[in-house]
Amino acid sequence: MNEPVIRMEKIIKTYYEGKPNELEILHGIDLTVHKGEFVSIVGESGSGKSTLMNIIGVLDRQTAGNYFLEGQDVNMMSDEVRSAIRNRRIGFVFQNFNLLPRANALKNVMVPLMYGEERVKNGKERAMEMLAMVGMEERANHRPNELSGGQKQRVAIARAMMNDPAIILADEPTGALDSKTGHMVMDLFHRLHEEQGKTIVLITHSQELASETQRIVTLLDGNIVADNGGEQ
């Protein structure tokens, strides 16, 4: 088996720690994701999947337990290193696209370069390649308000791929799209997975969407209750 991209051991997340309203959201999560896997984390609202996504995406810290990303102990990283990891090693795709409204598609795809020191020289060329990969090169000069929902999400996927990340972390990526457009976006994830060997973690409440992935991890009340196709 490949070296795990994600290794989580006994992850606990508690809010309002030590206060009367203390609330434990994640209750000791063990999760391993290997390079090249396409995994969905599925759960209803309140299952803890957003909290887990924030920890996987290095957007939040766990209260207890260990998280290793590409073999590196995330607990030990400074905020500065965590920020660099988020930018270079994780490609985020959100339900609401999170595009800059005043920037065209090309500039939106180039956003990750604003936070990194290297590779700026060929940034425009790389961004055009990413837009071409998602079939959006002819819309490079269009702003988000001139694009459909599906087109915005394709731009967001191009942006997520800009720094050739270790993981694509997609949070309800089809949630704001109609069924047909949602399938087109999922086809794009399948292509990235099959043709480029990308590791993709999809967060969703939809069993239908989850069934398209190699492995389904089911979260209920802050615990993994099922994991088909992988090791916990």
48 contact partners, CB below 8 Å, separation of at least 6: 13, 25, 26, 219, 221, 222
What integer is the mean pLDDT of 9-22?
A: 92
Q: How do the domains of the chain map onto residue ranges? A: 37-53+78-228
pLDDT digits (tens, 9 = 90+) for 62-120: 999 999 999 999 999 999 999 989 988 999 999 889 999 999 999 999 988 876 655 55
Tell me the pLDDT band of 231, cut-offs 50, 70 and 90.
very low
Taking the chain, what is the end-to-end CA distance rounded to the nearest angstrom? 14
CA dihedral 6, 60, 227, 203 (to 10 degrees): -100
* CATH tag, 37-53+78-228: 3.40.50.300
Instruction: Quote the pLDDT of residue 232.
Output: 41
d(CA 88, CA 86): 6
Over the stretch 129-148, which tens digit does the pLDDT of each residue have?
A: 999 999 999 999 999 999 99
Determine how β-strand 64-69 pairs with β-strand 4-15. antiparallel
